[in-house]
Structure 1
Amino acid sequence: MDFLEPAFMQRALLAAVLVGITAPAVGIYLVQRRQALMGDGIGHVAMTGVGLGFLMSANPVWMATLVAVAGAVVMELIRAYGKTRGDLALALLFYGGMAGGVMLIQVGGGSNANLLSYLFGSLSTVSTEDVTAISVLAAFVVLVTVGLRKQLFAVSQDEEFARVTGLPVRLLNLLIAVTAAVTVTVAMRVVGLLLVSALMVVPVAAAQQLTKSFRATFVLSVVTGITVTLAGTITTYYADAPPGATIVLYAIGVFVLLTLLATPLAKRRARAAAAAAVEGCDTALPAGRKPADDVKV
């Protein structure tokens, strides 16, 4: 347990737990909406916020949050109202955000090490101020994703049905986008802006291999997220590996493992269902009759 002794590891582990909770908690709605790559786009935009933080000598986490939220709102508006040029506008937003961020970091006096720590994560650079910002933002994400889970699930499942039932669909869509943006900035210090989307999607996809209900998928994906972020953080301490890549590879490993476990379970359930159907058919026939008796050749 010597990895608990350094102060930077204590901060990194706390940040990892918060990331493990928030990323899948938002990712489940993005997966349901078939917007699995939205987190990747927001990560590109958030890079401009990081660059502004260096340029203005402000906390990059808070600056990235402001820029990412603004970018997420624009992305949602483009999705809702954009027509033939919607994809082009999003591409310009993504690539412009990344290029602008890299340029601003250089102008603001940042180094390549600073750039890489935000792109791929870095445990040693997680400061007390970062932990405070991450904790506040994570609390907001959990409050929204858990407190409004029924409404968010409804609008993610079927927007038209949600609109008919009287839900504020446009507001809820914007709330999902904003929450996803906040989650990206929560995770960027541990996983990195380029890999955060994987942590939002892969634990959810892994949980779906074994679960059927939304609640079970939510719980298992969060448990998976916490497990892989903690495992990746501890592995990074001992192996000096990049934290973002390590965490994502662990998540993919869990996905493969649960998929292998789910395959025989699915076959067993199918055989049980088929047997139950045959048994029900037998009991529905008159005495002395067999299913084959009713087959005409």
Structure 2
Amino acid sequence: MTAILEKIAFYWTYPFVRYALIVGVLIALCSSLLGVTLVLKRFSFIGDGLSHVAFGAMSIAAVLKLTDDMPLTLGVTVVCAVLLLRTGQNTKIKGDAAVAMISVGALAIGYLLMNLFSTSSNLSGDVCSTLFGSTSILTLSKSEVWLCAGLSVVVVAVFLLYYNKIFAVTFDEDFAKAVGTKADLYNLLLAVIVAVVIVLAMNLVGSLLISALVIFPALSAMRLFQNFRSVTVCSAVLSVSCAVLGILVSILAGTPVGSTIVAADILAFLICSALGRARGGETG
């Protein structure tokens, strides 16, 4: 144990480790706050769909040889989040069908573009890194850390500022509309925030694993608590703890960052499920 602590202390002297932990904690926090609402509203699949859209946008940025793909990726993902919301509500293409169409379409087009226009000699490696996460979380620049911090502060601030409205829309949207709450506006706000979090999480866990950051902490917390506020706080604590643990284990053991974080989330879920059954307080 002492040797492990000494090794962690040694790595802590390197800026890239501190940057990775800061970004990992911020992304995990934002994902967990939104995760509770998305799971309760049965919208968790939207995160998966938007992650595929982000992959397609990153592929377009790569084809255009953009040095900074963040603006394009963020813009395209936000637009698709709005389209998913509008398409699911106002046309004959409902909910999961709309997500499936945009998700699979973006994934296919992104991979097709990378095959047709890529100049990389390791196309399979590039695709795998984008889908499952890569070591880019360990090579963040100070400007990228500040950008992530700024967007994360906005996400957390919006969630806290509109907490009561989000709570109302989450549990009874029809009643919220009846008492004058602009439910459609807050659903739109949630969709945009989810898009921002998805783009931020791409470098951490990859597009195929992002949903785990949203779903697992929320489901784990629901095994222990029934109150919305308690579930949200517990989800945030679990998500941040698993992100820190996953990043540290990844650095020490040389394992993939994204997969290691998700493995930590799965372990936390199993532990919370066992604790919930032991005390007879499992809530579903």
Normalised to the residue count of structure 2, the TM-score between the two structures is 0.88
Once residues 147 and 201 of structure 1 are traced to their aligned partners in structure 2, the CA distance between those partners, rounded to angstroms, is: 23
1:76 and 1:174 in contact (8 A); partners too: yes
Q: Separation in 2 of the partners of 1:101 and 1:164? A: 42
Change (3 A) 1:267 1:226: closer
Q: 1:36 aligns with which of 23, 44, 56?
A: 44
Q: Is the 8 A contact 1:3 1:234 kept in 2?
A: no
Indicate how the Cα distance of structure 1 residues 101 and 267 shifts in structure 2: closer, same or farther if over 3 A, else same. closer
Alignment of 1:48-59 (within 5 A): 48-54=56-62, 55-59=64-68
Please give the secondary structure, in 2, of the residue aligned with 1:190: helix
Choose the corresponding residue for 2:229, options 193, 204, 215: 215
3-state SS of the aligned residue for 1:34? coil
| Structure 1: stretches of 5+ with no match in the other structure | 269-297
* Aligned-partner Cα distance in 1 for 2:188–2:214: 18
The answer on 1:166 being equivalent to 2:186 is no
Q: Which moved more, 1:103-112 or 1:75-84?
A: 103-112
Alignment pair present for 1:186 and 2:200: yes
Amino acid at match of 1:157: F
Deviation at 1:52, TM superposition (A): 2.8
- 1:255 equivalent among 269, 273, 276: 269
Structure 1 residues 216-235: aligned runs within 5 Å: 216-235=230-249
1:93 matched residue in structure 2: 102
Shift of residue 93, structure 1, vs aligned partner? 1.1
Alignment of structure 1 residues 1-297 onto 2, 5 Å: 1-54=9-62, 55-84=64-93, 87-105=96-114, 107=117, 109=119, 111-112=122-123, 113-122=125-134, 123-266=137-280
Offset at 1:208? Answer: 0.9
Q: Separation in 1 of the partners of 2:33 and 2:194?
A: 10
Q: Is the Cα contact below 8 Å between 1:62 and 1:133 reproduced in 2?
A: no
CA distance in 2, matches of 1:160, 1:201: 25
Deviates more, 1:124-133 or 1:218-227: 124-133
**Quick one: which amino acid aligns to residue 180 of structure 2?**
G
Contact 2:223 2:281 in 1 (8 A): no
RMSD: 2.0
CA–CA distance in structure 2, aligned partners of residues 86 and 199 of structure 1: 21
Aligned residue identity for 2:107: M
Q: What is the identity, as a one-letter code, of the residue corresponding to 2:40?
A: Q
Larger radius of gyration: 1
Letter of the 1:82 partner, please give it: T
Identify which range, 63-72 or 84-93, moves more after superposition: 84-93
TM-score by length of 1: 0.84
Q: How many aligned residue pairs are there?
A: 268
Q: Alpha-carbon deviations, 1:247-290, whole Å to 9, x = none?
A: 1111111111011111121279xxxxxxxxxxxxxxxxxxxxxx
Q: What is the alpha-carbon distance in structure 2 between the residues aligned to residue 15 and residue 104 of structure 1?
A: 29
Identity among equivalent pairs (%): 31
Shift of 1:71: 0.9
Partners of 1:208 and 1:87 in 2: CA distance: 23
Aligned-pair distance for 1:84? 5.0
Farther-moved stretch of structure 1 (165-174 vs 135-144): 135-144
Question: 1:28-82: per-residue Cα shift (whole Å, max 9, x none)?
Answer: 1101101121100000011122123322414223322111111111111111113
Unaligned runs of 5+ in 2: 1-8
Q: Which residue of 1 aligns with 2:3?
A: none
- Looking at structure 2, the residues matched to 116 and 126 of structure 1 have their Cα atoms a distance apart, in angstroms, of 19
Q: Measure how far apart 1:164 and its partner are.
A: 0.6
1:108 to partner: Cα distance: 5.5
